[in-house]
Amino acid sequence: MPELPEVEIVRQSLEKKIKHKRVKKVIVRNRNLRFKLSSNFRSYIQNQKIVKVGRFSKYLIIYLSDGHYCLIHLGMSGTIHIVNNNLSKVITNTSFYSSQSLPKKHNHIELLFDKFKVIYNDPRRFGFFQIIKSSLELKKRFNHLGPEPFDPKYNLNYVCEYFKGKNKNIKSFLLDQKFVSGIGNIYASEILFLSKIYPFKMVNTLNKKECHKIILNSKKILTKAILYGGSSIRDFKNLHGTRGKFQNEFKVYQREGKKCKNLGCFNLIKKKIFSNRSTFFCEFCQK
DNA sequence: AAGAGGCCCTGATAGC
DNA sequence: TGCTATCAGGGCCTCT
């Protein structure tokens, strides 16, 4: 489901809800996630106080009072719900589901607090929970990831150097978390449309000006998406509450066959499947 | 060693 | 109605 903006929205609402609160009990219903949940997973979280909820790229980091960390990745379909304990009613919505459509199936992990519980639901099970035991280990865990788009390290020098001698298109690089981390399939298309760059242009043919536009627009699109509360795509039934609004701002994503939104352009948005992911673009505006 | 492709898994939707 | 095929916001692993 989520790219960096959606994960950030989840982080904000989750932290608001659980910071300084103690986990009373942990229920594991299914440990077969992306990575199998370790057998002692519960013991690391039970009775811990939540110090804060952080995020790096598309990963949530729960800081536990004894210095350990609980790393969460939502994969493609992971969602987090907060449900009131006695009333069994959704009181905070961190996942774009409404109380009416709260799924019973695929609730794999539950963290029980005094008055509410946090439920992890994930039909496809591409997401995961992991215990990280030290800040050093946490750093190592993210070692393979490139800078976030907001990081000053994601600059013209870095990008130009990185692209030297690389024989791959720009869309693939925006999705490559080793190059820049946090961008996914929606925002990659949107960033390239805004930059007026053809998604399948090889990076070794990009000039400095184009690299500069990609850097600026990566920051711009993700910042705006966070401001809009993320994107809620695929229309769930009975949605309400904290549903994101950025899907209304899409210029190309899921707009195949529709008119280009650039002023004066009457071309229709195209969709092309490349390495199993769809890419949306305007042939006329993106060169 | 960079780059392409397959695979993990379930659910929604389209087409017959 | 009920089948089958295709597609989904991600990332890891293997092969060449």
Active-site residue (options: A11, A17, A58, A213)? A58
Higher pLDDT, A86 or A41: A41
Exposed/middle/buried for A242, CB within 10 Å: 0-12, 13-18, 19+? buried
Tens of pLDDT along A65-109?
A: 999 999 999 999 999 988 887 654 443 334 444 444 466 799 999
Is A5 a catalytic site residue?
no
Q: What is the pLDDT of residue A93?
A: 38
Q: Considering only CA atoms, name the residue closest to the C1' of nucleotide B3.
A: A168
Q: What is the pTM of this model?
A: 0.94
A255 CA from B16 C1′ (Å): 26
pLDDT, tens only, A245-254: 999 999 999 9
**Catalytic choice (A141, A245, A261, A277):** A277
A58 classed as catalytic: yes
pLDDT, tens digit, 9 for 90 and up, residues A145-189? 999 999 999 999 999 999 999 999 999 999 999 999 999 999 999
Q: Of all protein residues, which has its CA closest to the C1' atom of C11?
A: A75
| Residue A186 burial by Cβ neighbours in a 10 Å radius (0-12, 13-18, 19+) | buried
